[in-house]
C-alpha cells in the first residue's frame, strides 16, 4: 500500500516535501483504519509526527487532510482510499511538524463565543431544569468534538482566521443560543454582529461535507441569522 506523506521539520528543513513510502500488503489487515497504517509507518520511521489519542473518533486529535479531504484518521478505513494515499496536515494552519498543526487560532475563536452557559438570574437551589423538548434542541450541536476539520476546510476561515469565527465556533455559539437555560441571547448575537465574525460565511458548505460527526454548521449559522432577524423586530 502506497502513501505520499507531507513532511516538514522547521528546525532542519528549508521547505516542506512530500515523502513517498510503502507498507507491504501483508501488514494490512481487513478493516484497518488509516491511523493504524500511520502507526506502522511510524514504527519504521520514528521521526514521522502526528497527533492521535483515543483512536475511535471521540477525541478529535487526529484530524488530517486525507486525499484532499479533512477527516479523522482513526475512523477512515484504508480500503476506501485511492492510492497513493496523500496525507497532509489540516490546510491553512501553521505547521509545527509533519502532520501536527498549531490550532491556536481555532481555539481562540472557540473561546471568543463564550462556550458555557451564561445565567443572569440567581443560581437555583437545585439543578437547572430542562424539558425533553428543550433538550432536543441541542441535538446535532452538542456532539461536536472540536477536531477542527470543518473550520480548516472553510475558505472564509482560510482568508480571515483571525476575524471570522469559523464553522466550529459558530456551531457552538448556536449550541448555547439554542439552550433554554442560557440567558445571554442578546449579548451573544450582538457579539457576532459586524462584517467578519459571523457574516464571512458564504454558505460554501465545506464544513458540512467534511464533518466526521455528520453535523451541519451551515444550518446552525442560518439559525443564528434567523435569531438575529427575530431580535431585530
Partner 1 sequence: MMWRASGFRAWLLQRVSAVYMAVYILLFMLHLAFDAPDSYQEWRAWMMLPFIAVASFVFFAMLLTHAWIGLRDVIIDYVHPVGIRFVLLALVAGGLLMLGVWVLRILLMGVS
User: Which positions touch partner 1 (CB under 8 A)?
Assistant: 156, 159-160, 186, 189-190, 192-200, 202, 225, 228-229, 231-232
Query: What's the min distance (Å) between Cβ of 228 and partner 1?
Result: 5
Give the 3-state secondary structure of residue 138: coil
User: To 10 degrees, the CA torsion angle through 85, 86, 90, 93?
Assistant: 160
Q: Which residue's CB is nearer to partner 1, number 35 or number 189?
A: 189
Query: What's the min distance (Å) between Cβ of 209 and partner 1?
Result: 20
- What are 22's strand-pairing partners? 2
Is the distance from CB of 118 to CB of 181 less than 8 angstroms? no
Q: Which residue's CB is nearer to partner 1, number 116 or number 159?
A: 159
Residues 6+ away with beta carbon under 8 Å from 76: 33, 34, 35, 66
Q: Which residue's CB is nearer to partner 1, number 112 or number 228?
A: 228
CA–chain centroid gap for 111, Å, is 14
Q: Which residue's CB is nearer to partner 1, number 129 or number 233?
A: 233
Extract the C-alpha cell encoding 224.
443564528
Query: What's the min distance (Å) between Cβ of 171 and partner 1?
Result: 18
Query: What's the min distance (Å) between Cβ of 202 and partner 1?
Result: 7
User: To 10 degrees, the CA torsion angle through 114, 116, 120, 123?
Assistant: -160
Query: What's the min distance (Å) between Cβ of 230 and partner 1?
Result: 11
Q: Which residue's CB is nearer to partner 1, number 61 or number 218?
A: 218
Strand 2-7 relative to strand 17-22, pairing: antiparallel
How far is it, in rounded angstroms, from Cα 82 to Cα 233? Answer: 52
Amino acid at each position: 500500500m502506497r502513501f505520499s506523506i507531507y513532511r516538514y521539520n522547521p528546525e532542519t528543513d528549508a521547505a516542506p516535501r512530500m515523502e513517498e513510502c510503502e507498507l507491504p500488503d501483508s501488514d494490512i489487515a481487513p478493516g484497518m483504519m488509516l491511523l493504524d497504517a500511520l502507526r506502522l509507518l511510524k514504527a519504521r520511521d520514528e521521526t514521522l509526527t502526528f497527533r492521535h489519542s483515543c483512536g475511535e473518533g471521540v477525541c478529535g486529535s487526529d484530524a488530517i487532510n486525507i486525499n484532499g479531504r479533512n477527516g479523522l484518521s482513526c475512523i477512515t478505513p484504508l480500503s476506501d482510499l485511492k492510492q497513493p494515499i496523500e496525507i497532509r496536515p489540516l490546510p491553512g494552519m501553521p505547521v509545527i511538524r509533519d502532520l501536527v498543526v498549531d490550532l491556536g487560532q481555532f481555539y481562540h475563536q472557540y473561546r471568543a463565543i463564550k462556550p458555557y452557559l451564561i445565567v443572569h438570574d440567581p443560581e437555583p437551589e437545585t439543578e437547572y431544569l430542562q424539558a425533553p423538548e428543550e433538550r432536543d434542541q441541542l441535538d446535532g450541536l452538542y456532539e461536536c468534538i472540536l477536531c477542527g476539520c470543518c473550520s480548516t476546510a472553510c475558505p472564509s476561515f482560510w482568508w480571515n482566521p483571525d476575524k471570522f469565527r469559523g464553522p466550529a465556533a459558530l456551531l457552538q455559539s448556536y449550541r448555547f443560543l439554542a439552550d433554554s437555560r442560557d440567558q445571554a441571547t442578546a449579548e451573544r448575537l450582538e457579539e457576532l454582529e459586524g462584517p467578519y465574525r459571523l457574516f464571512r460565511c458564504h454558505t460554501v458548505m465545506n464544513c458540512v461535507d467534511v464533518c466526521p460527526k455528520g453535523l451541519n454548521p451551515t444550518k446552525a449559522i442560518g439559525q443564528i441569522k434567523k435569531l438575529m432577524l427575530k431580535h431585530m423586530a
